[in-house]
Amino acid sequence: MHKATGEVHSVNESLVGAHIKGGAVMNGEVAYIIIEDGKRLKAEVIDVKENNKVYLQVFEDTGWMKVGDPVEFTGLPLAVKLGPGILGSVTDGLQNPLYELGKIEWFLERGLKVDPLDNTKKWHFTPKTKKGDKVTQGSVLGVVPEKLFEHKIFVPFSLSGEFTVQHIAKAGEYTVDEPIVTIKDGSGKDLELTMAFEWPVKKSMPFKERSVPEKPMPTGIRILDALFPIAYGGTACNPGPFGAGKTVLQHSLARHSQADVVIIAACGERAGEAVEVFKDFPELIDPRTGSSLMDRTYIVGNTSSMPVAAREASVYMATTVGEYYRKQGLNVLILADSTSRWAQALRETSGRKEEIPGPEAFPMYISTLISAFYDRAGVEVLGDGKTGSLSIIGTVSPAGGNFDEPVTQATLLSTGAFWGLSRALSDARKYPAIDRIDSNSKYPSLLEEDEVAYLLELLRDGKAIASNIILMGEKGITDASYIRYQKAELLDAVFLQQNSFHEVDGVTNPERLRFMFNMVKKIIEAPVNLKGKEAIRSHFNFIRQAFLDWNYMMPNDDGFEKQKTTLLNLVKKMGHVAENV
């Protein structure tokens, strides 16, 4: 196939204009700009104009690029290489392994390219089909072990029609680039397949069958599992101001959520925070398996100090890998941090293209792009009763914590759960600082629907009474109202708040969540025969401290049952104190 060439005619930061020579190009096509030191800078066509002009967004630094530099068009879209070896790796938004690049240069030099999958490592391939079998796109040709999972080797999803297996390799050790299968299409043409294939990152993989996300995914975070859950295949928006706890919440979700594979897309996050992830995750032990957390993690690192165009690539790179592992029959969780900086990159590119700006200068189509991103989540029915799911949780960093700005609003319209982080709660050191009243979820909870309504009603009453206390003081409300307020505060302190850094309190499994809810409900419904604000406050403080001490104990600890008895005795005392006076 003849490929077009061209030359640069304008450079505006990451947006480069070029004249085409000898052929046409398409939107989304990858091109390489060759600068004077011979380095090839990767770019993507984002606009095709009249008179053989195109605009490209360059994924690397355009410094020293000049008018007249040659451009080579590949005729192919931006794609990700899929196959065994992705889990446990850390790449940039173009799937270049960052640790391998670091071995070449201490600083990430532009124009460097490393194979995304290790082409020297041998994988033990076990065939699952034989000569003469009929196969189609997505058919399983064989399996190889990858970390904790059995990795299926598929017929590439880009192939259409029915094929006949002509040859398949015997069980043994092969690299990802060695031919393992030969198939013949309907016209008699032979195709050689390896264990890896490429897929365009901006194109969703074909679904066999989708189902509605309805099974709650335990996260280990009580406020989410009880009040604002996410389902397998669901989506969630997590906006909040700086310092409200987004990063710690994401780390807790990565470590404790009941997802098989976790993908972290650092799409424009601060470099210091991203480096912290790179350093910490390989050292974390997965509490479910006892091995390294990286064994089921893939990290796409594109920080705020990298070129803005690569932020968009990193989002789609992570999503495509997530879709691939969903095809493996696994439950995948993508943590995108932060979609606001991805949107800011789109705003910069849109401004350089001189497009008509929308609200706050974001592109008019920002809502469409965000919606399309979250639409790639979901549950896929794979056959034989098996399913795979892709859940997406995107953090949003609105300026000044303003949830009315366009990116937050567009994300709210596209997601099924809203976890709004509160500055007031974080300032009061109430973590997770998820707003108890304004947050919501359309997915089923680990608790019953009436139990969720019961808790939310108490929290609303507590907030209303707290407002009255601010206005009139404690003397301005009745003892009954003050007791209701103290019960709401107790619920918040012992059930909704959680110490993410504590080995026991940092994660609550569904069984303990149920146990804790029953205990909290027993306390809330227990009679309180106390008189006077000071007596009420004092007794609830004792109960709160006893419950918090209990939260830090494992069920098999020596003092667990003793502390439970102490707590129940304190509750019983509240009902009988009037008789003893």
pLDDT value, residue 392: 98
Contact 469, 537 (CB under 8 A): no
Tell me which residue range forms the domain holding 15.
5-77
Condensed to tens digits (0 to 9), the pLDDT of residues 119-167 reads 999 999 999 999 999 999 999 999 999 999 999 999 999 999 999 999 9
203 in a structural domain: no
pLDDT value, residue 580: 33
Q: What is the mean pLDDT of residues 547-562?
A: 93
Quote the CA–CA distance of 568 and 379 in Å, as a whole number: 43
82 in a structural domain: no
Q: Which long-range contacts (CB under 8 A, 24 or more apart) does 459-468 make?
A: 459/488, 459/491, 459/492, 461/485, 461/488, 462/487, 462/488, 462/489, 462/491, 462/492, 463/436, 463/437, 463/488
Number of domains in the chain: 4
Task: Inform me whether the pLDDT recorded for 452 exceeds 80.
Answer: yes
Quote the CA–CA distance of 36 and 59 in Å, as a whole number: 18
70 in a structural domain: yes
Condensed to tens digits (0 to 9), the pLDDT of residues 194-246 reads 999 999 999 999 988 999 999 999 999 999 999 999 999 999 999 998 888 88
Contacts of 31 (CB under 8 A, 6+ apart): 6, 18, 25, 42, 43, 44, 45, 56, 71, 72, 73, 74
> Hey, is 560 helix, strand or coil?
helix
Mean pLDDT rounded to a whole number for the chain: 92
Condensed to tens digits (0 to 9), the pLDDT of residues 470-485 reads 999 999 999 999 999 9
Same domain, 159 and 281: no
Quote the CA–CA distance of 40 and 70 in Å, as a whole number: 10
Domain CATH for 457: 1.10.1140.10
57 band by pLDDT with thresholds 50, 70 and 90: very high
Condensed to tens digits (0 to 9), the pLDDT of residues 487-539 reads 999 999 999 999 999 999 999 999 999 999 999 999 999 999 889 999 999 99
Contact 61, 110 (CB under 8 A): yes
**Which residue, among 20, 21, 121, 11, has the nearest Cα to 57 in the 3D structure?**
11
Residue 462: Cβ within 10 Å count? 22
β-bridge partners, 7: 19, 70
Quote the CA–CA distance of 201 and 312 in Å, as a whole number: 10
Q: Are strands 79-82 and 70-77 parallel, antiparallel or unpaired?
A: unpaired
Condensed to tens digits (0 to 9), the pLDDT of residues 183-206 reads 999 899 999 999 999 999 999 999
Same domain, 97 and 27: no
Task: Inform me whether the pLDDT recorded for 547 exceeds 80.
Answer: yes
Task: Inform me whether the pLDDT recorded for 291 exceeds 90.
Answer: no
Listed range (176-185, 205-214, 285-294) with the worst mean pLDDT: 285-294
Same domain, 17 and 145: no
Q: What is the mean pLDDT of residues 37-61?
A: 92
Same domain, 341 and 255: yes
Same domain, 141 and 68: no
Tokens of residue 351, six digits? 């401004």
Same domain, 341 and 478: no
227 in a structural domain: yes
pLDDT value, residue 575: 67
Torsion of CA 426, 428, 432, 437, to 10 degrees: -90
Residue 321: Cβ within 10 Å count? 28
Torsion of CA 95, 101, 102, 103, to 10 degrees: 140
pLDDT value, residue 577: 43
